[in-house]
Structure 1
Amino acid sequence: MNRGYFADISELNQHGGKIATANKIIIPAVAAMKFPGLEVNYSDGKTLKLPITSNGDMVAADKAAVPKATLICLSFRANSQAMIDSWSGPFLDTYRNSDDVRLYEVSFIDSWFLCWNPIKQLLLRMMKKSNYGGKDAVQKQVVYSFGDHYYFRKDLKILNLLTGYMFLLDKFGRIRWQGFGLANEEELSSLLSCTSLLLEEK
């Protein structure tokens, strides 16, 4: 888990960030693992706990706010942004009018200096801008996670910090599909079809 930058670079040169192919079919609910809890910050300083999930004692009004499908894109280094965009762009185009879908792009910041509270607040203010200008139901929500993410990465078996990681979650926060690196057409098709299946689940 604590391997060096050069090991990541070497691996990136071999496969361009495609550490594995995306799931071709949806992961059955009984076999799906839960996405580990993660606290993130919006650029205005507000915090959010991901994933947003449903549980048995929620009132009807709260249940309406729980998405049936959530795509969470993880970026640990700036160079993976193009990989994230290759998935999030088509996803947003397809489901922009759906009230039951959410899209989060999470940027991880692990430098102790940037996590120092005065610097963190300054950094968030610098990043404060509209993430998406449209009025569609689904908007790309860019959020930031500060601090040591060792155990979070360990839970998700994330080794290479130079590639992008995509996770499609159902309303219970279970990982039902995952992808890596740059998207290709076949993988995008599997993401979109799996999302449609989640929207149909009761």
Structure 2
Amino acid sequence: MNRGYFADMKEFKDHGGKIAAASKTLIPAVSAMKFPVLAVTSSNGKSMKLPITSNCNEVNKESLDVPKVTLVCLSFRASSQEMISSWSKPFIESFGDRKDLKLFEVSFIDKWLLGLAPIKKLLLRVLQKPNNSENNVLQRQIVYSFGDHYHFRKQMKVLNLLTGYILLLDKSGRIRWQGFGTATPEEVSQLLSCTSLLLKDQ
């Protein structure tokens, strides 16, 4: 967990961010790990916690609908943004008309200075991006998590910070499928197939 940038870089050169192949099938619910509660902030300054489940406070406070399926894309460094898009774009193209799914792209900002209130507010304003999926019911929600993420990474077994991590959650917040790095056409097909299966099961 404490290894440095150069170790990540060497590993990245070896496999291009593909630290493992994506899941071919859904992880059974009984053996699936729960996604750890993660505080995030959207570019408009609104704070919330992931995952959104029936017993989370966000649903009661904000009257949010509990999604049947949530795709969470984790990015610890800017280098993984294109990797994330290789999964999220086909996901929106396939399920853009569904109201019972959510898609979150989470960027982690661990520099303590950037988490200070006035700087954080300014940074969020700079990071605000236009919504390119306005014709879709399913919106790509870009959110940010500030602070020290050591314990989150430890729980999630995140070692290499240069790659992207893709997680498919069920309505109880359990991780039912995982992908890494840049998506291959076969892996995109597996993601879409597993999402459809999960929607039928929920």
Query: Could you tell me the TM-score, scaled by structure 1's length?
Result: 0.94
Letter in 2 for 1:159: L
Letter in 1 for 2:8: D
Match of 1:159 in 2: 159
CA, structure 1 residues 80+68, in 2 after alignment: closer, same or farther (shift >3 Å)?
same
Match of 1:95 in 2: 95
Any conservation in 2 of the 1:107–1:144 contact (CA below 8 Å)? yes
Distance 2:91 2:167 in 1: 12
Cα displacement string for residues 50-105 of structure 1 (whole angstroms, at most 9, x for unaligned residues): 000124xx99xx6x811111000000000100100000010010000011111000
Deviation at 1:133, TM superposition (A): 4.5
| Counterpart secondary structure, 2:45 | coil
Any conservation in 1 of the 2:133–2:140 contact (CA below 8 Å)? no
| Counterpart secondary structure, 1:183 | coil
Distance 2:167 2:150 in 1: 18
Any conservation in 2 of the 1:104–1:140 contact (CA below 8 Å)? yes
Distance 1:90 1:159 in 2: 26
| Counterpart secondary structure, 1:20 | coil
Any conservation in 1 of the 2:32–2:176 contact (CA below 8 Å)? yes
Letter in 2 for 1:144: Y
Cα displacement string for residues 116-139 of structure 1 (whole angstroms, at most 9, x for unaligned residues): 222111101112233335132101
Any conservation in 2 of the 1:131–1:142 contact (CA below 8 Å)? no
Distance 1:8 1:70 in 2: 28
Letter in 2 for 1:69: V
Match of 2:171 in 1: 171
Match of 2:148 in 1: 148
Any conservation in 1 of the 2:34–2:174 contact (CA below 8 Å)? yes
Superposed CA RMSD in Å reads 1.6
Distance 2:132 2:34 in 1: 28
Deviation at 1:186, TM superposition (A): 1.1
Distance 1:12 1:193 in 2: 28
Deviation at 1:198, TM superposition (A): 1.0
Distance 1:84 1:94 in 2: 16
| Counterpart secondary structure, 2:12 | helix
Match of 1:13 in 2: 13
Matched, 1:104 2:97: no
User: What is the aligned residue count?
Assistant: 198
Q: Which runs of 5+ in 1 are unaligned?
A: none
| Counterpart secondary structure, 1:155 | helix
Matched, 1:129 2:133: no
Match of 1:119 in 2: 119
Letter in 1 for 2:9: I
| Counterpart secondary structure, 2:10 | helix
Runs of 4+ aligned structure 1 residues displaced above 3 Å come to none
